Amino acid sequence: MNIALLGFGVVGSGVYEWCRDREDLNVTRVLVRSPKPAVADISTTDFNDIVTDPAIDIVAEVMGGLHPAYEYVTAAMKAGKHVVTANKALIAAYYTELTSLAREMGVGLLCTAAVGGGIPWLVNLARVRKLDAIERLGGIMNGTSNFIMDAMHAAPVSFPAILKEAQDLGYAEADPSADIDGDDIRRKLVISANIAFDAVLEEEDIPMFGIRTVTDSDIATFKAKGFTCKLLATAAAAEKGVCAYIEPTLVSADALEAAVPKNFNLITYEGVNMGRQSYYGQGAGQMPTAANVVQDCLTILGGERGFYTHNATPMALDGENEAHPYYVRTSAPDQWLEDNTAERWETGVVTGAVNTYEMLAWAKKQLTVDPALFIAGIA
Amino acid sequence: MNIALLGFGVVGSGVYEWCRDREDLNVTRVLVRSPKPAVADISTTDFNDIVTDPAIDIVAEVMGGLHPAYEYVTAAMKAGKHVVTANKALIAAYYTELTSLAREMGVGLLCTAAVGGGIPWLVNLARVRKLDAIERLGGIMNGTSNFIMDAMHAAPVSFPAILKEAQDLGYAEADPSADIDGDDIRRKLVISANIAFDAVLEEEDIPMFGIRTVTDSDIATFKAKGFTCKLLATAAAAEKGVCAYIEPTLVSADALEAAVPKNFNLITYEGVNMGRQSYYGQGAGQMPTAANVVQDCLTILGGERGFYTHNATPMALDGENEAHPYYVRTSAPDQWLEDNTAERWETGVVTGAVNTYEMLAWAKKQLTVDPALFIAGIA
């Protein structure tokens, strides 16, 4: 099959590399904004050269961003071409539009690299869904935040200092907010939950609390109590929809999540009859991420059409039955927190079981009076 | 597609359960030795009723044992039927015969449930192999031995006492040797390594050391030194073949392997360009194991033919470049051990880096003079 790459950055050049010696997949065209010597003979700056080329079977979108990526992939599908993308923002934002267009046109639309980089998470989630119903999914879905939390547990270091180190290593971007506040995870969670529950969730509605305000004293307290703090995502089947949220979570120091080092991910589903299965690997990186793009092309070459799931029904967030204790550190007194306090730790308090959505809403409000507030669910 | 089950034990009845409400897969015949009321109307005690029935597309062998399973699945393939099996002993023992017969007949032969129960290990190993070369694979591939090791680290308990508990819980069989001496793992390792390296390894040639002789004092020593002991399998690409072995291994107490609880498995490959990816779940259990049998049927329904890999070349074991330190506890003095001792721990000695095959050969010999010998590689 002939592939046109939209973009020739880190992932795009990785895809080109993986395909170079293959006979079944050929990169025959690359859309670039500026000349790329490695692919000079097949480059174009005009998307029309790609969408009107009948020899191109698959458009692999690895340029990122919402626009013109959205316009390009919809035009490609309307022209009868299969689309593979690594763009989580795009899929999360235009889930209904893109998946229904793929079904309507009878083309393949796959985005395995969009969640977990090179980890074969979405394909295995789709595989288990063919048999079993998913009860719950989530885990460690962002390498940058895990790198930071891992380092803060390994040795006392302030959040700003380790963030700077992550930026110097290229693990965190100059504006790190997407990684440390949860936005990046939220997109991956939306895509995963949509596939798991045949749902369409609104990304912006999912409550989240990041790791921006965690301190080395918080971590020292957690360690002394036998806990490890990780930024975890959760999406669970609920009576009236899906309960989805992202929050720092204290897991037992001997839990599998606690042992996830550096910028690795550990993503888990629990099936009604399958029980728990988890997938571990680096959630980013050029060749692994590009590999999932190429694997999607091979899947389409094997005859797969449409998206991972055939249904996409708008679904509400329902947090009614999700409750657990929380660690809360705030310098601004609050009556609701006082009423819910069950225990006092060195650096903060521990609540009784509190409804998750209630706590995340409270935390959002409390941040306006105490910008240094930190909370963590206790698993 | 129509499926005939050979056997209606734990896995067979699980397959029947998974398929019951499906329209794409129907269990239309079950080979039984004694009457099974649940499937009375489709039962037969005569395999000829199955092999001569043109309506049967897939023969799912879930009876276990080498014979007559081997005769049945070869006859089924010769009759043009696809074969799915959960039988690791069968695949490990007749790897060349079965995989070449499947290729010759153009039928599907899949055995995902044979390694890791419900964990999608073999399918993902085969998937990554389409792009990348595997450098190394293995991990925790037996739930019973992990249950025992996990319990021995959680609280001081003797090996015989915890083995008895595992037997009472149904995790270990009356004759536990296959689980605790490594034979079960060795079969799974052979199948995995064969697929990963396009190889055919001889099961009996792979050296192994089990956990039968580990004591609570050994475990106390390991914990004091910051280690956790797990029974690990390894197969690595080597210059003149494959280096495969099974041995108790001391991993850092904060390693991912150390956090694997109860009867769970954690199976890992390292790809040249993909890096490390791991798969976690229960390595046994009725519905998960049966699910992998059904998934294999769905894969065949999707058009897949042949085996996971197209090549099967007999390959030698080559342990020349594999060396690491060992913990050794023996009451019988030995000059070679003395010469290689680098450190003395409370309950045993630690060697310098010793060639793995040399150590495992020495241990086999040493067991004849000291049946209580215990060794563990140090990762």
Based on its alpha-carbon atoms, the radius of gyration of chain A, rounded to whole angstroms, reads 22
Q: Is A152 helix (H, G, I), strand (E, B) or coil?
A: helix
Query: A24-46, pLDDT tens digit by residue?
Result: 999 999 999 999 999 999 999 99
**CA B249 → CA B138, B208, B223, B244, distances in Å?**
12, 12, 13, 14
- Domain A122-285+316-378: give its CATH superfamily: Dihydrodipicolinate Reductase; domain 2 (3.30.360.10)
Nearest CA in chain A to B252: A259
Strand-pair category, B313-314 with B326-329: unpaired
Query: B221-273, pLDDT tens digit by residue?
Result: 999 999 999 999 999 999 999 999 999 999 999 999 999 999 999 999 999 99
Query: A302-321, pLDDT tens digit by residue?
Result: 999 999 999 999 999 999 99
Residue A278 with chain B: CB contacts under 8 Å? 279-281
Interchain pair B256, A260: CB under 8 A = yes
Residue B127 with chain A: CB contacts under 8 Å? 120, 123, 295
Q: What sign results for the dihedral spanned by CA atoms A310, A315, A317, A320?
A: negative
Amino acid making up residue B270: E
Rounded Cα gap, residues A301 and B327, in angstroms? 50
Best mutation target, A122, A256, A297, to test chain B (most B CBs within 10 A): A256
Nearest CA in chain A to B116: A277
Interchain pair A280, B285: CB under 8 A = no
Q: What is the pLDDT of residue A172?
A: 87
Query: A362-371, pLDDT tens digit by residue?
Result: 999 999 999 9
Best mutation target, A25, A252, A279, to test chain B (most B CBs within 10 A): A279
Residue B129 with chain A: CB contacts under 8 Å? none
Buried b (16+ CB within 10 A) or exposed e, A154-166: eeebebeebbeeb
Q: Assign A59 a pLDDT band (cuts: 50, 70, 90).
A: very high
CA geometry: angle B230, B236, B237, nearest 5 deg: 180
Q: What is the pLDDT of residue A171?
A: 85
Rounded Cα gap, residues A78 and A96, in angstroms? 15
A147 Cβ contact partners less than 8 Å away, ≥ 6 residues apart: A166, A171, A172, A262, A263
Amino acid making up residue B254: D
Strand-pair category, A134-140 with A227-238: antiparallel
Q: What is the pLDDT of residue A367?
A: 98
CA geometry: angle B268, B256, B110, nearest 5 deg: 25
Q: What is the pLDDT of residue A170?
A: 86
Interchain pair A277, B120: CB under 8 A = yes
Interchain pair A278, B273: CB under 8 A = no
Query: A117-172, pLDDT tens digit by residue?
Result: 999 999 999 999 999 999 999 999 999 999 999 999 999 999 999 999 999 988 88
How many Cβ atoms from other residues are within 10 Å of residue A127's Cβ?
19
Average of per-residue pLDDT across B94-100: 98
Q: Which two tokens stand for residue B205?
A: 């040639």
Average of per-residue pLDDT across A279-304: 96
Interchain pair B275, A254: CB under 8 A = no
How many Cβ atoms from other residues are within 10 Å of residue A365's Cβ?
11
Q: What is the 3-state secondary structure (H, E, C) of chain B?
A: CEEEEECCCHHHHHHHHHHCCCCCCEEEEEECCCCCHHHHHHEECCCHHHHCCCCCCEEEECCCCCCCHHHHHHHHHHCCCEEEECCHHHHHHCHHHHHHHHHHHCCEEECHHHCCCCCCHHHHHHHHHCCCCEEEEEEECCHHHHHHHHHHHHCCCCHHHHHHHHHHCCCCCCCCHHHHCCHHHHHHHHHHHHHHHCEECCHHHCCECCCCCCCHHHHHHHHHCCEEEEEEEEEEEECCEEEEEEEEEEEECCCCHHHCCCCEEEEEEEECCCEEEEEEEECCCHHHHHHHHHHHHHHHHCCCCECCCCCCEECCECCCCCEECEEEECCCCCHHHHHHEEEECCCCEEECCEEHHHHHHHHHHHHHHCCCCEEEEEC
Give me the residue spans of the domains in chain B. 2-110, 122-285+316-378
Q: What is the pLDDT of residue B170?
A: 86
Nearest to B18 among A131, A288, A302 (CB): A131
Average of per-residue pLDDT across A236-252: 98
Rounded Cα gap, residues B196 and A9, in angstroms? 31
Interchain pair A280, B278: CB under 8 A = yes
Rounded Cα gap, residues A267 and B226, in angstroms? 27
Residue B277 with chain A: CB contacts under 8 Å? 118-120, 279-281
CA distance A263 to chain B (A): 12
How many Cβ atoms from other residues are within 10 Å of residue A207's Cβ?
19
Is pLDDT above 90 for A259?
A: yes
Rounded Cα gap, residues B150 and B127, in angstroms? 31
Rounded Cα gap, residues A22 and B331, in angstroms? 57
Q: Assign A376 a pLDDT band (cuts: 50, 70, 90).
A: very high
Host H or E run for residue A116: none
Query: B29-42, pLDDT tens digit by residue?
Result: 999 999 999 999 99
Nearest to B274 among A260, A288, A302 (CB): A288
Strand-pair category, A26-31 with A275-282: unpaired
B46 Cβ contact partners less than 8 Å away, ≥ 6 residues apart: B31
CA distance A260 to chain B (A): 6
Interchain pair A273, B287: CB under 8 A = yes
Name the region of A138 (left: φ>0; alpha: ψ -120 to 50; beta: rest).
Answer: left
Residue A302 with chain B: CB contacts under 8 Å? 302-303
Nearest to A280 among B261, B274, B277 (CB): B277
Q: Assign B53 a pLDDT band (cuts: 50, 70, 90).
A: very high
Best mutation target, A287, A289, A304, A310, to test chain B (most B CBs within 10 A): A287
CB B149 within 8 A of CB B206: no
CB A243 within 8 A of CB A318: yes
A192 Cβ contact partners less than 8 Å away, ≥ 6 residues apart: A115, A121, A122, A125, A137, A138, A235, A267
A147 half-sphere exposure, CB direction, 13 A CA radius: 22
Q: Taking an 8 Å Cβ-Cβ cutoff, which residues of chain B contact chain A? A: 18, 118-120, 123-124, 127-128, 130-132, 254-256, 258-261, 266, 268, 273-282, 285, 287-288, 291, 294-295, 298, 302-303
Nearest to A274 among B261, B280, B288 (CB): B288
**Percentage of chain B modeled with pLDDT above 90:** 98
Beta strands per DSSP E along A128-286: 134-140, 199-200, 227-238, 241-252, 264-271, 275-282
From the list B303, B300, B310, the residue with the least C-alpha distance to B111 is: B300
Is pLDDT above 90 for B210?
A: yes
Rounded Cα gap, residues B369 and B79, in angstroms? 53
Residue B258 with chain A: CB contacts under 8 Å? 259
Rounded Cα gap, residues A18 and B273, in angstroms? 10
CATH number for the domain running over A2-110: 3.40.50.720
Residues of B annotated catalytic, as ranges: 188
Q: Mean pLDDT in chain B?
A: 97
Q: Is A299 helix (H, G, I), strand (E, B) or coil?
A: helix
**Percentage of chain A modeled with pLDDT above 70:** 100
Query: B153-175, pLDDT tens digit by residue?
Result: 999 999 999 999 999 988 888 89
Interchain pair A278, B281: CB under 8 A = yes
Residue A273 with chain B: CB contacts under 8 Å? 18, 287-288, 291
Say whether the ipTM exceeds 0.95.
Answer: yes
Nearest CA in chain A to B154: A254
Interchain pair B254, A259: CB under 8 A = yes
Task: Give the ranges where A215-341 is alpha helix by DSSP (H).
Answer: 216-224, 286-301, 335-340
Q: Assign A373 a pLDDT band (cuts: 50, 70, 90).
A: very high
Residue A18 with chain B: CB contacts under 8 Å? 131, 273
Interchain pair A303, B298: CB under 8 A = no
CA geometry: angle B138, B143, B147, nearest 5 deg: 120
Beta strands per DSSP E along A7-118: 26-31, 43-44, 58-61, 82-85, 109-110
Average of per-residue pLDDT across A5-16: 97
Q: How many CB pairs under 8 A join A and B?
A: 109
Residue A118 with chain B: CB contacts under 8 Å? 274-275, 277
Q: Taking an 8 Å Cβ-Cβ cutoff, which residues of chain A contact chain B? A: 18, 118-120, 123-124, 127-128, 130-132, 254-256, 258-261, 266, 268, 273-282, 285, 287-288, 291, 294-295, 298, 302-303
- Cα distance from N-terminal residue to C-terminal residue, chain A: 47
A255 Cβ contact partners less than 8 Å away, ≥ 6 residues apart: A228, A379, B259
A269 Cβ contact partners less than 8 Å away, ≥ 6 residues apart: A125, A128, A134, A136, A137, A196, A276, A277
**Percentage of chain B modeled with pLDDT above 70:** 100
Rounded Cα gap, residues A229 and A217, in angstroms? 12
B122-285+316-378 has the same fold as B2-110: no
Rounded Cα gap, residues A261 and A164, in angstroms? 18
**CA B23 → CA B20, B27, B83, distances in Å?**
9, 10, 20
Residues of A annotated catalytic, as ranges: 188
Rounded Cα gap, residues B166 and B173, in angstroms? 8
Interchain pair A280, B280: CB under 8 A = yes
Strand-pair category, B326-329 with B349-351: antiparallel
Residue A124 with chain B: CB contacts under 8 Å? 120, 124
Q: Assign A114 a pLDDT band (cuts: 50, 70, 90).
A: very high
Nearest CA in chain A to B19: A131
Rounded Cα gap, residues A18 and B99, in angstroms? 28
- Cα distance from N-terminal residue to C-terminal residue, chain B: 47
Best mutation target, A278, A292, A305, to test chain B (most B CBs within 10 A): A278
